[in-house]
Amino acid sequence: MTATAPAPAKSLGPTGGFGGLLGLLGGGFTGFVVRRVLGVVVTLFVLSALLYAVFYVAPGDVAQITCGPRCSPAQVQQVSDQLRLDDPLYTRYVDFLRGIFVGHDYSTGTGVLHCDAPCLGLSYQTDQQVTELILNKVPVTGSLALGAMVLWLILGVGTGVLSAWRRGRPTERILTAVTLAGTATPVFVIGLILMILVCGQLQWLPFPQYVPFTDDPQQWAWNLLLPWVSLALIEAAKYARLTRASMLETLAEDHVRTFRAYGVKERSIVGRHALRGALAPVIALTANDFGSMFGGALLTETLFGLPGLGRELVHAVRVVDLPVVVGMVMVTGFFVVLANAVADVLYAVADRRVVLS
Amino acid sequence: MNPDQSLVHVDGLTVEFGDVRAVDAVSFTLARGGALGLVGESGSGKSTVASALLGLHRGTGARVTGSVRVGGTDIGAATDAELRRLRGPVAAMVFQDPLSSLDPYYAVGDQIAEVYRTHSKVSRRAARARSVEVLDRVGIPDAPRRARSRPHEFSGGMRQRALIAMALACEPELLIADEPTTALDVTVQAQILDLLHGLREETGMGLLLVTHDVGVAAESIDDVLVMRHGRVVESGGVADVLSAPREAYTRQLLGAVPRVDAVREERTGDLGDVVVEADGLRREFGRGKRAFAAVDGVSLSVRRGETLGVVGESGSGKTTLGRMLVGLLDPTAGQLRYGGAEKQGKGVVPGVQMVFQDPVSSLNPRRSVGESIADPLRARGDRDEDAIRTRVRDLMTRVGLDPAHYGRYPHEFSGGQRQRVGIARALAAEPRLIVCDEPVSALDVTTQAQVTALLAELQRELGLALVFVAHDLAVVRQVSDRVAVMRRGRIVEYGTVDEVYGSPQDPYTRQLLAAVPALDPAAAQERRAARRRAAADARAARAADTDGSASAGGTGSAEGGDGGGTGKELAAA
């Protein structure tokens, strides 16, 4: 808090720009970002260790399941050797970490399978590289999450602002009722109804089917529109309520009164002064939701038949394909942590006091 | 006077919030260029009147009746658009808490420019230039650069100046200042009042000053309106009302104002043993480059039955010192001796208690006051519920509370009563020393007088040693035997009350005493002139020093002293 010090000249703007170390020690904006990024790395390490511990210590004979019900004990032993299930856990974990940075070679008994640098292992089931498997699914889930997020932010924040502004009037009551209904409805109900109505009865949209953005952007958006809308409707309700509560709080703040007392128009008071203060919790929640969508958009993916991460994860869990499960959760964790770090930085850009404390 | 020619004409203004009548048939007139003060204690309705002048009650559920005309506009009948046009160019308001009254997310200059552009159709550039111009006018040093700072990068005094600059940008005919100096230190308060005075001379705008502080009013206005319970008790020229009040309430109000020149009753009685002794106390916050000594080598002692006043402005380290004496903070260096014995280990010290500044936030709102008072008893191991209850009831009676209110919650009490609860809680564990941190600064003057009287009485009776930490020089003088003046973590002056107040040796003490508002308007004018001369001399001296190089403005740099809010914020973190 050098802010009110007698020599305030130094307190403005980034001061930690003298390379990494100074940035870390100093308080400035660069230092803040560097610290945040380091936080991401540390969190991921801890996460990987925990995942490894939890999943590989979990009960169940992995070799037996992987080999299949009709394997002989000798075959099971062979699989177990191949998967190095008898090695101590920590050597496998160190191998796993090394794989992430330098890649890994796996012997299949007859040959050698190379797994490239960010290697999360090979699928027990298909010998496919987990990294590759995930990378194939990320665009699908990413498209779904990104589009839904944009929609729910527009819908949710807009509704929230409007109902805070028009509090106590019929507009607000109607909006409150709608958002309540939204929160209370599960995604498969809204999605199903929409799908039957829009795709089935009215035939306005095709039944969703994933088309990569790079193939045909228009078809990509057109096919994803329905999943986006269904997800956004549910999420928007939550955001509307949060924005409304947060707006009511900032609208009651003293600085809002100041601008009212100077004849500033209500529109710019709401839009410029109240909304900006109200956005902090919205940013935080968005980061969480966007991140967790990578692991948790399962219902939506299943309902609309989208080959995303959620479906893959469920499949991997069912067949105890541990490398895939661990990799998936790592990637989901990565997105959650990353999204939160981005939110923190955004928040700091909006409000420099964050950096200082 | 013809109501159309006066700047403000209020007739029979009544404001009701639900069943509560906050303002009751208030009438007054303010001529163009005049200065009127609304003086009263909290809850007297003075701020409600001020808000009514700008029509700020519209849409809040308050019922406003009576007629209010400002600059010829009938506030009650004006359309929303007319009201917006009035707010700023005709009547501009400066609010009490300058930190919360500015938007934390935008640069100060941009906020002023936004307000300016609301009322004049000019380019962004021109508006920004205007904001720099007015910031410079109110004495913000290096205004072009500081206009880009956000409010939290300003000191309290600078924020208040920025708010005044915002008002000034619109060139209002009337400036409404609602407690403009309440959150500020005395030296900064004097600067702000001088600034308002200078602006009035320069622009000829009218001033409506809302304040609970009679001293502030005496310095700045021509006419005064004393309010109580929403009604006008007395009105007239400020010199007449303050020197010869007609109403009993005004007399009571004036009598309760602590004054640095009041006759003190000489305190007699033997002082006992030394209860606490501090030697070279030092406390740092932060690490490395940011390390900062909030208290930097303080030595003092307090005897049984004695009150040591610790006075200083915000950031001077007085609260940190108080907390170390209680053991809430551990010193970085130095020794503390209680009753001659070195302090053992860390943490709170038995037999030492604290009374906090804010009686609202220092009581748990979800516990009854009786339970709060009983806390220290339970903490030291008392288990006999009946004995505890009896003791709490005794304590409540002792501090002037009704023991039947044992089960009531803090919000059911007034500010003064809550502070009594705080005192009872401090007394519960039979302490030898009580450290009072700004115990009366959140209270009205009449309540203030009652609470300080209670403390003095308890001291006489129980032989308590008291450390009275406060920023108000007059209060400290009234309650203390000896005084320590603190600045930037050090004691700059230490002696008996008569020594420190009668013949201050340190220039800082003299500066503090010169900044205390005088109750007599004539004296106030004299002091203002003296302060101006001093500021001019200082400027001249500095100009000579720096050979006329472009240095910070005189008024701004004088504020360097309130830059040390740092320690407090770090401590809170």
Using the beta-carbon criterion (under 8 Å), do A1 and B101 form an inter-chain contact? no
* Residues contacting residue A130 through CB under 8 Å, at least 6 positions apart: A119, A120, A121, A122, A123, A323, A324, A327
Asked if A212 is an interface residue toward chain B (Cβ–Cβ < 8 A), one would say no
| Contact status, residue B55 vs residue A229, Cβ threshold 8 Å | no
- The strand ranges marked E within B476-557 are 482-487, 490-496
* Positions of chain A with pLDDT lower than 50, given as ranges: 1-26
Q: What is the pLDDT of residue B490?
A: 93
| Contact status, residue B517 vs residue B472, Cβ threshold 8 Å | no
Asked if A57 is an interface residue toward chain B (Cβ–Cβ < 8 A), one would say no
pLDDT tens per residue across all 573 residues of chain B: 454 578 999 999 999 988 889 999 999 999 998 999 999 888 888 989 999 999 998 888 889 999 999 998 899 899 999 999 999 999 999 988 777 899 988 999 999 999 999 998 899 999 999 999 999 988 888 899 999 998 888 888 888 889 999 999 998 999 999 988 877 888 888 888 888 998 898 889 999 999 988 888 888 889 999 999 999 999 999 889 988 899 999 998 888 888 877 777 666 566 778 899 999 999 988 777 778 888 999 999 999 989 999 998 888 889 899 999 999 999 999 999 998 888 877 777 888 999 988 777 888 888 999 999 999 999 888 888 999 999 999 999 999 899 999 999 988 888 888 999 999 999 998 999 999 998 888 788 888 888 899 999 899 888 899 999 998 888 899 889 999 999 999 999 999 998 999 899 999 999 888 888 877 778 888 888 888 888 788 778 777 765 544 433 334 334 443 433 444 444 443
- Nearest 5°: phi and psi at B498? -65, -40
Using the beta-carbon criterion (under 8 Å), do A259 and B115 form an inter-chain contact? yes
Give me the residue from A12, A264, A357 closest to B115, CB to CB.
Answer: A264
Asked if A18 is an interface residue toward chain B (Cβ–Cβ < 8 A), one would say no
Asked if A276 is an interface residue toward chain B (Cβ–Cβ < 8 A), one would say yes
Separation between Cα atoms, residue B161 and residue B109, nearest integer Å: 12
Q: What is the pLDDT of residue A58?
A: 66
Using the beta-carbon criterion (under 8 Å), do B166 and A262 form an inter-chain contact? yes
| Contact status, residue B452 vs residue B468, Cβ threshold 8 Å | no
Element at A299 (helix H, strand E): helix A298-304
How many CB atoms are closer than 10 A to CB B42? 13
SS3 B334: strand
Where along chain A do its domains lie?
29-115, 134-356
Using the beta-carbon criterion (under 8 Å), do B95 and A357 form an inter-chain contact? no
- Quote ipTM for the complex: 0.76
Helices (H) and strands (E) in chain B, counts: 21, 20
Asked if A253 is an interface residue toward chain B (Cβ–Cβ < 8 A), one would say yes
Residue B341 is encoded by which pair of tokens? 């014995």
Asked if A91 is an interface residue toward chain B (Cβ–Cβ < 8 A), one would say no
Using the beta-carbon criterion (under 8 Å), do B104 and A350 form an inter-chain contact? no
Which site among B85, B97, B103 would you substitute to test the A interface, given the most A Cβ atoms closer than 10 Å to its Cβ?
A: B103
Using the beta-carbon criterion (under 8 Å), do A257 and B86 form an inter-chain contact? no
Which site among A262, A347, A352 would you substitute to test the B interface, given the most B Cβ atoms closer than 10 Å to its Cβ?
A: A262
Contacts of B131 in chain A (CB under 8 A): none
Which site among A1, A22, A29, A165 would you substitute to test the B interface, given the most B Cβ atoms closer than 10 Å to its Cβ?
A: A1
- B35-39: strand order across its sheet: B91-94, B174-178, B206-211, B35-39, B223-228, B231-237
Q: What is the pLDDT of residue A225?
A: 87
Using the beta-carbon criterion (under 8 Å), do A27 and B290 form an inter-chain contact? yes
Give me the residue from A6, A27, A263 closest to B87, CB to CB.
Answer: A263
Tokens 């298909």 -> residue:
A126
Nearest chain B residue to A259 by CA: give it.
B115
Q: How far is B135 from chain A (nearest CA, A)?
A: 16
Using the beta-carbon criterion (under 8 Å), do A257 and B163 form an inter-chain contact? no
| Contact status, residue A326 vs residue A55, Cβ threshold 8 Å | yes
Please give the torsion angle defined by the CA atoms of residues A302, A308, A311 and A314, in that order, rounded to the nearest 10 degrees. -150
Nearest chain A residue to B289 by CA: give it.
A26
Separation between Cα atoms, residue B394 and residue B416, nearest integer Å: 19
- Nearest 5°: phi and psi at B208? -115, 110
Contacts of B566 in chain A (CB under 8 A): 1-2, 4-5
A154-166 pLDDT per residue, tens? 999 999 998 888 8
Q: How far is A176 from chain B (nearest CA, A)?
A: 21
Q: What is the pLDDT of residue A19?
A: 39
pTM: 0.76
Using the beta-carbon criterion (under 8 Å), do B563 and A6 form an inter-chain contact? yes
Q: What is the pLDDT of residue A45?
A: 87
Which site among B82, B83, B93, B101 would you substitute to test the A interface, given the most A Cβ atoms closer than 10 Å to its Cβ?
A: B101
Write out B343-373 in H/E/C secondary structure: CCCCCCCCCEEEECCCCCCCCCCCCCHHHHH
Which site among A258, A269, A357 would you substitute to test the B interface, given the most B Cβ atoms closer than 10 Å to its Cβ?
A: A258
For residue B134, give the DSSP letter.
Answer: H
Q: What is the pLDDT of residue B2?
A: 53
For residue B438, give the DSSP letter.
Answer: S
| Class of domain A134-356 (CATH, top level) | mainly alpha
Give me the residue from B92, B288, B563 closest to A5, CB to CB.
Answer: B563
Asked if A352 is an interface residue toward chain B (Cβ–Cβ < 8 A), one would say yes
Q: How far is B565 from chain A (nearest CA, A)?
A: 7
Give me the residue from A254, A257, A263 closest to B85, CB to CB.
Answer: A263
